[in-house]
Amino acid sequence: MACAEHIELNPEFQKALKIMEESGESVFITGRAGTGKSTLLQYFRDHTRKKIAVLAPTGVAAINVRGQTIHSFFRFRPDITPDTVGAVKPADTNLYRQFDTIVIDEISMVRADLLDCVDMFLRRFGKFPHRPFGGIQMVFIGDLYQLPPVVKSSEKVLFETYYQSPYFFSAHAFQEIRPLLVELEKIYRQSDARFIEILNRIRNNTVDEEDLATLNERVIPDYTPEEGEFVVYLTTTNDVARSINEKRLQELPGKERVYEGLLKGDFEEGSLPTDFYLHLKKGAQVMLLNNDTSGRWVNGTIGRVRGFARSRSDTGEAVEVVVLELEDGGVVEVEPYTWDMFEFYYDEKEKRIASRSVGSFTQYPLRLAWAITVHKSQGLTFDRVIIDIGRGTFAHGQMYVALSRCRSLEGIILQKPILKKHILMDQAVVQFLTGYQYRLAEEEMPLAERLRLLEEACQKKRPLEMVYLKASDEKSRRVIVPLEVGTMHFQDREFLGLRAFCTVRGEERTFRVDRILSLRYIEE
């Protein structure tokens, strides 16, 4: 993740920041893997003048954004439902009236019923009672094409009775507030245009045989990493990842060291970022789990244990350090690190919202990392990965998350070919994102205005820049020269169409007018 102090404030970043900081409008900020969603959140939190809370659906995600889990913040029991949320009574009812904005990160993993619980709670205890979400600006951040919310098989039938889908956008409260939408488009993780195009088509399941053939050139079934090579196995299950890590650790010669973590206060054991008992040996491949204050590593950096030593901490105490060699050849000493579990509270004396630690976990910020699950890799970036899909993928977005972790196509090794059936995508996500963007476009530039502009451009033979969204959620920005607007036919279907010369394809193309998101004249 880029340092929030040194980020490029591209147009989408500026648009999102303006909405969050200068308006009270709720907004859904999305974007493909590697577009800087986490960096944007960090920048907003560090610079905003608003009173905000940053929440996430899981403990690990909350720790990563220095926030609080949704359940903890609202004092919800794990089995909370819209029917039982009315019985929840917070210890400090004044707290929730102080917030201007609530940010929920990793929104793709938040269920519709949980978001409705948040709404019902804030209608009672928020700044403006009885309004949706208590009148508080809601900021939802995440990529719906990545990992989905979890609905147990025993809950599915009941869930489908009340909601169109398990996703947050099916919450009744979401339909009421109709947030704005900002899509971050510039990708910072990858730079190879061909690889980015393939990832985009994996994301919305529009890959063709040529794409799959290109990916499957990376199949090396019996690949064995060279001595000293840093490579990470991405697996679909915890059991496979654990088995690989334990086997590789046992194969190393030398004495195994076991470091016991330290828990204090209220820190859920299910939210531990690494093992309570951390097993290490010289030669072990590990992942760093924090951002170094000196910038030597970030969360997700891969290294190898070179040894163990005694050193002095910043406070002058004698401390054992783990000596690592990083991928870039640098050698660093890693001390124990403390993660805090925060809660927000209202400081009556200072008349401000503050956060305090309610629990902590101290351990070396390391995890064995010959292998990790695709799920745990979300948000991380690697130079070299081996993707092992085992018996196949089983969740929406899983293949996209796995492939998009790597900076380059050349850095990927596949243990078996990727088939079309391995790319799982929930059609509810596509229908929501396309339909929602069409509605927002209609509000911003009604159909009548689009037609007027297109007809005028036809007469004047003036080029237009057009943003076009296919029903498969494939978005493109192109320059066109409109030639004709009117009723057209395709496969016995009638539609309002545009015939135009497309400068991208260098040929005439036909477009549906209702799928045009924006139009503007090109300055001559």
The tens digit of pLDDT for each residue in 384-422 reads 999 988 776 778 889 999 999 999 999 999 999 999 999
Amino acid at position 302, single letter: I
In the predicted structure, residue 18 carries a pLDDT above the cut 90: yes
Q: d(Cα 177, Cα 120) in Å, to the nearest integer?
A: 13
> In the structure, what pLDDT confidence band is assigned to residue 1 with cuts at 50, 70 and 90?
very low
The residues, any chain, with a CB within 8 Å of residue 154's CB and separated by 6 or more, are: none
The answer to whether the beta carbons of residues 386 and 413 sit under 8 Å apart is yes
In the predicted structure, residue 349 carries a pLDDT above the cut 90: no
Kindly list the strands in the beta sheet with 68-69, ordered across the sheet, starting from the edge strand earlier in the chain: 68-69, 52-56, 101-104, 137-141, 27-31, 180-184
SS3 call for 418: coil
**4-184 and 445-521 have identical folds:** no
Give the bridge partners for 29, in sequence order.
Answer: 141, 182
- Which CATH number among 3.30.470.20, 3.30.1330.10, 3.40.50.300, 3.90.1150.10 corresponds to the domain 4-184? 3.40.50.300
> In the structure, what pLDDT confidence band is assigned to residue 71 with cuts at 50, 70 and 90?
very high
| Beta strand extents in 266-317 (DSSP E only) | 277-280, 285-288, 302-312
Range scoring the smallest mean pLDDT among 373-377, 410-414, 495-499: 373-377
DSSP letters spanning 156-196: HHHHHHH-SSSBGGGSHHHHHH--EEEEE---SS---HHHH
The answer to whether the beta carbons of residues 306 and 330 sit under 8 Å apart is no
Helix %, strand %, coil % of the chain (to 5)? 30, 30, 40
Q: d(Cα 275, Cα 395) in Å, to the nearest integer?
A: 26
Q: d(Cα 469, Cα 471) in Å, to the nearest integer?
A: 7
> In the structure, what pLDDT confidence band is assigned to residue 64 with cuts at 50, 70 and 90?
confident
Provide Rg for the chain, Cα atoms.
25
- pLDDT (tens digit per residue) in 237-274: 899 999 999 999 999 999 999 999 999 998 887 889 99
Overall fold of domain 445-521: SH3 type barrels. (2.30.30)
In the predicted structure, residue 5 carries a pLDDT above the cut 60: no
Which H or E run includes 339?
strand 337-347
CA 4 vs CA 36, 292, 450, 504: distances in Å = 10, 14, 38, 35
Average pLDDT over residues 110-130: 96
- pLDDT (tens digit per residue) in 274-301: 999 999 999 999 999 998 888 899 888 9
**Is the four-CA dihedral 37, 42, 45, 47 of positive or negative sign?**
negative
Of 232, 233, 209, the C-alpha closest to 420 is: 209
Q: Residue ranges per domain, the chain?
A: 4-184, 193-259+273-335+365-422, 445-521
Q: d(Cα 107, Cα 169) in Å, to the nearest integer?
A: 10
Does residue 370 or residue 344 have the better pLDDT?
A: 370
Look-up of token digits 């491949």: 285
Which H or E run includes 464?
strand 464-469
Give the bridge partners for 356, in sequence order.
Answer: 343
- pLDDT (tens digit per residue) in 129-177: 999 999 999 999 999 998 889 888 878 887 888 899 999 999 999 999 9
> In the structure, what pLDDT confidence band is assigned to residue 92 with cuts at 50, 70 and 90?
confident
Q: d(Cα 257, Cα 282) in Å, to the nearest integer?
A: 9
What's this model's pTM, rounded to 2 decimal places?
0.86
Q: Which contacts of 69-74 are long-range, i.e. CB under 8 A and separated by 24 or more positions?
A: 69/271, 70/104, 70/110, 70/114, 70/118, 72/341, 72/343, 73/343, 73/344, 74/117, 74/118, 74/121
Range scoring the smallest mean pLDDT among 199-213, 386-400, 462-476: 386-400
The answer to whether the beta carbons of residues 52 and 99 sit under 8 Å apart is yes
> φ and ψ at 299, to 5 degrees?
-55, 120
Average pLDDT over residues 217-241: 91
Q: d(Cα 488, Cα 511) in Å, to the nearest integer?
A: 10
Range scoring the smallest mean pLDDT among 329-333, 386-390, 475-479, 498-502: 386-390
Q: Which pLDDT value is given to residue 463? A: 95
Q: Which pLDDT value is given to residue 178? A: 92
CB atoms within 10 A of CB 259: 18
Average pLDDT over residues 44-72: 91
> In the structure, what pLDDT confidence band is assigned to residue 447 with cuts at 50, 70 and 90?
very high
Q: d(Cα 102, Cα 115) in Å, to the nearest integer?
A: 12
> In the structure, what pLDDT confidence band is assigned to residue 6 with cuts at 50, 70 and 90?
low
> In the structure, what pLDDT confidence band is assigned to residue 321 with cuts at 50, 70 and 90?
very high
Range scoring the smallest mean pLDDT among 229-233, 300-304, 347-351: 347-351
> In the structure, what pLDDT confidence band is assigned to residue 524 with cuts at 50, 70 and 90?
low
SS3 readout for 231-250: CEEEECCHHHHHHHHHHHHH
Amino acid at position 223, single letter: Y
> φ and ψ at 168, to 5 degrees?
-60, -30
Of 151, 148, 52, 152, the C-alpha closest to 104 is: 52
